[in-house]
Structure 1
Amino acid sequence: MLSYIGRRLALGLFTVWAVSVLAFLIIQLPPGDFATTRLAELAAAGNPSAVYEAERLRAEYGLDQPIFVQYFTWIGQVIQGNLGMSFDWNRPVADVIGDRLLLSMVVSVAAIIFTWAVALPIGVYSAVRRYSVGDYTFTFLGFLGLAIPNFLLALILMYLGFAVFDANVGGLFSPEYESAPWSFAKAWDLLKHLLLPAVVLGMTGTAQLVRIMRANLLDELKKPYVITARAKGLSERRMVAKYPVRVALNPFASSIGFLFPQVVSGAIVVSIVLSLPTVGPLLLRSLQAQDMFLAGAIVLLLGVMTVIGTLISDLVLMWLDPRIRHAR
């Protein structure tokens, strides 16, 4: 067990390094750099010192150095815990990300909890009550959830909130708490605003896991060990919960590895629509401004989250399914 975790950690570190290299190279692919973008802005504003300012920025941030020198300078700072300076914000990257990363994690966890809490019982019910009215109803709603884009669902719910309930359903805080320091009242206000983004971001994943859970459980219910358990007189509810459901939970555990980064990076449009102060819109802005240190830090953090999520997923799978445990 410990040797397996050690191997996974070593592979995880290599994966994070590879992600850092690829992220840095991809961010450098568009022509020009942050100084070029700033030069165009200053020239459009009629600033006579635009060229001088652009050259000063290149020298200050090392943009005039070869790309491999820029990379090793950046990754050396990251190893020391310094994510560098944001060109666009003119502040340390850690300060720019700040609370946004924490709020992104909170929204991600809320969306995952919603996904599991809804998908698990519905998937089990649809499999056990196959071809019933409830099964057909949940199947229809599941296909509807897969078909509706998250941002469109966000717009619909926002409209209903304003038009029907006369409520402010955008953002994660009430106006009086947006710039207030953290307190119990602010945390409670955050919890009250979490339901809408959790539902919107978790809807697609919920619809997918319902179908996967139903299909896997239907397959397990046909296995010989289920027939044997029924023959021994085990009650249907206890038999289903103790054996086939546990094996059919594997897709839930395996989804941990991609749900965290997917919710963070895949929700940029939803975050913009709902005015969520998360990392997604910040990543979009940094890419548009060619703020390579900020964009690189966010992509690197997404890679780290993927590695951690995959490790947790593998450990949960080993706990759920003894066959995987022995195979290791």
Structure 2
Amino acid sequence: MFGYLTHRILVMIPTLIAISLITFVIIQLPPGDYLTTLVMEMQSRGETIDQGRLAMLRETYGLDRPLAEQYLYWLFGMLRGDFGYSFEYELPVTEVVGDRLWLTAIVSFATILFIWAVSFPIAIYSATHQYSAGDYALTFLGFLGLATPSFLLALVLLYFANVWFGTSIGGLMDPRYVDAPWSLDKVLSVLEHLWIPVIVIGTAGTAAMIRRLRANLLDELHKPYVVTARAKGLSPRRVLWKYPLRMALNPFVSDIGNLLPQIVSGAAIVSVVMSLPTTGPMLLQALRSQDMYLAGSFLMFLAVLTVVGVFLSDLALALLDPRIRLTGGTTR
């Protein structure tokens, strides 16, 4: 076990380095750089920029260096905790991100809890009561959740939250707490606003997980070992919880590596509609303006979530399913 953990951790290091190189190359693929985009925007407004000042800015930001040197500067900076300088905000990336990263983590974690807490009871009921009225009703709600656009649901919930509960429209807190230091009142304001984006972002994921878990559990419930357990006189609840449900959970545990980055990156449109101070809108703007270090830092954050999530899912699968072994070879 220790050897497996060591091997996986050592593999993660070159994986992240390769991802950082690919990320840097992709960001650099569009012609020009941030200053080129800035000059084009100024020219479209009829403004001009002094070429001497442009050359000074290019030297200040390090854009006059070779691409390989820029990449190495960014890579070794990240190892020291320095994620570079945001051209657009004229601040270090760590200062630009600020509370956005924490708020994104809060929204993502709450959304995952919502998805699992809602989908599992519904899926278990739907699988154990196949073709019942409740199964048909829950199936209809699941398809409705998959078909409803997230931005439309966001607009509807924002309206009703303002009319019924008096919650201010947009954002994750009352406007008076945006620039205020963290306090109990600010935390309570975040909790007051948090349920809206959690429901909006989690609805599609909940509906999809209900359908998948229902299908997997139905497949397990019709296998011979379940029939044998029932024939031995085990209670239906014990038969369900002992093996079929554990086996049906395998695909979801293996998806931990994809779940977090999908929620963080997939909520960008909802964040724009609801004016959420999360990383999604900032990442889109950084990519549009070719703010290299800011966009690259966000993408590396998603990469780390994916790599670490896959590692944790592999360990959880080994604990969940005794048929999975972490060592190679065969046993006789």
- Identify whether the pair has TM-score above 0.5, normalized to the shorter chain: yes
3-state DSSP of counterpart to 1:120: helix
Where does residue 197 of structure 1 map in the other structure? Answer: 197
1:73 Cα shift? 1.3
Where does residue 123 of structure 2 map in the other structure? Answer: 123
1:44 Cα shift? 4.7
Where does residue 137 of structure 1 map in the other structure? Answer: 137
**Structure 1 residues 45 and 326: alpha-carbon distance in aligned structure 2, compared to 1, 3 A threshold:** closer
1:166 Cα shift? 4.7
Where does residue 16 of structure 1 map in the other structure? Answer: 16
Where does residue 246 of structure 1 map in the other structure? Answer: 246
3-state DSSP of counterpart to 1:194: helix
The Cα RMSD (Å) is 1.7
For 1:74-104, what per-residue CA distance to the aligned partner results, in whole angstroms no more than 9, with x for missing partners?
1121111110111001101011112111111
1:163 Cα shift? 4.8
Could you tell me whether the CA contact under 8 Å between 2:167 and 2:192 is conserved in 1?
no
2:61 is aligned with 1:61: yes
Normalising by structure 1, what TM-score?
0.95
Which moved further from structure 2: 58-67 or 20-29?
58-67
Could you tell me whether the CA contact under 8 Å between 1:101 and 1:278 is conserved in 2?
yes
Where does residue 278 of structure 2 map in the other structure? Answer: 278
**Structure 1 residues 169 and 309: alpha-carbon distance in aligned structure 2, compared to 1, 3 A threshold:** farther
Where does residue 83 of structure 2 map in the other structure? Answer: 83
Question: Partners in 2 of 1:258 and 1:234 — Cα distance?
Answer: 37
1:45 Cα shift? 5.3
**Structure 1 residues 243 and 327: alpha-carbon distance in aligned structure 2, compared to 1, 3 A threshold:** farther
Could you tell me whether the CA contact under 8 Å between 1:39 and 1:51 is conserved in 2?
no
- In the alignment, structure 1 segments of 5+ residues that lack a partner are none
Where does residue 230 of structure 2 map in the other structure? Answer: 230
Which moved further from structure 2: 317-326 or 215-224?
317-326
Where does residue 287 of structure 2 map in the other structure? Answer: 287
For 1:228-251, what per-residue CA distance to the aligned partner results, in whole angstroms no more than 9, with x for missing partners?
211221110122122211111112
After TM superposition, the structure 1 = structure 2 runs for residues 36-51 of structure 1, keeping only pairs within 5 Å, are 36-44=36-44, 48-51=48-51
Question: Partners in 2 of 1:203 and 1:214 — Cα distance?
Answer: 17
Question: Partners in 1 of 2:98 and 2:319 — Cα distance?
Answer: 34
Could you tell me whether the CA contact under 8 Å between 1:86 and 1:294 is conserved in 2?
yes
Question: Partners in 2 of 1:263 and 1:326 — Cα distance?
Answer: 29
Where does residue 33 of structure 1 map in the other structure? Answer: 33
1:176 Cα shift? 2.1
Question: Partners in 2 of 1:167 and 1:186 — Cα distance?
Answer: 14
**Structure 1 residues 14 and 326: alpha-carbon distance in aligned structure 2, compared to 1, 3 A threshold:** closer
1:50 Cα shift? 3.2
**Structure 1 residues 209 and 158: alpha-carbon distance in aligned structure 2, compared to 1, 3 A threshold:** same
- In the alignment, structure 2 segments of 5+ residues that lack a partner are none
Q: What one-letter code is carried by the residue in structure 2 that aligns with 1:265?
A: S
**Structure 1 residues 130 and 169: alpha-carbon distance in aligned structure 2, compared to 1, 3 A threshold:** farther
Question: Partners in 2 of 1:269 and 1:195 — Cα distance?
Answer: 17
Could you tell me whether the CA contact under 8 Å between 2:254 and 2:317 is conserved in 1?
yes
Where does residue 313 of structure 1 map in the other structure? Answer: 313
Where does residue 264 of structure 1 map in the other structure? Answer: 264
Question: Partners in 2 of 1:311 and 1:141 — Cα distance?
Answer: 34
After TM superposition, the structure 1 = structure 2 runs for residues 198-213 of structure 1, keeping only pairs within 5 Å, are 198-213=198-213
3-state DSSP of counterpart to 2:323: helix
For 1:121-156, what per-residue CA distance to the aligned partner results, in whole angstroms no more than 9, with x for missing partners?
111111100000111111111111111221221122
